Amino acid sequence: MNKYIFDESNGLWYELQGDYYIPCLSLPAAEEKPIGLWGQRHLRYIREHRIALYTELLTSGRLNAYLADLDEEAEAMLSRLVKQFAKKEGVTEKLKAKDGMKWVQAMNNIRNRAAEVVYNDLIYN
């Protein structure tokens, strides 16, 4: 028996493994983008709760690009929300110079609230 055979009806090569011919399949080469904190958290969420989406992205070779894009979008959303909340609540550089601890408390509060919005709208959705 030949180690490899070609099936002209579907255009696939098959490799003999034991008594069976298994199709020689591989994922398309994809550009590896770095995935940050938001992308990793979303990956954990879809792996546990949205298995069909995870499997489809993984087998199509688009998982890395999807997570990298989501990570960039989440980071931009967080930055935008922090700026908007700080402006709305009057947390400025003047407050920072006048009362540093109060400014830190306010900014931590704002950042935590903005992160919750990002989690609800992008990460766990």
The domain limits of the chain are 31-123
H helix runs in 2-125, sequence order: 37-49, 51-60, 63-89, 93-98, 100-118
- pLDDT surpassing 90 at residue 60: no
pLDDT of residue 30: 63
The pLDDT tens digits for 10-28 are 989 999 999 999 999 876 6
Of 75, 71, 78, nearest to 114 by C-alpha is 78
Check: CB of residue 12 under 8 Å from CB of residue 23: yes
- Beta carbons within 8 Å of 62's beta carbon, 6+ residues apart: 30
pLDDT of residue 48: 97
pLDDT of residue 32: 84
The pLDDT tens digits for 74-124 are 999 999 999 999 999 999 999 999 999 999 999 999 999 999 999 999 999
pLDDT of residue 114: 98
pLDDT of residue 27: 63
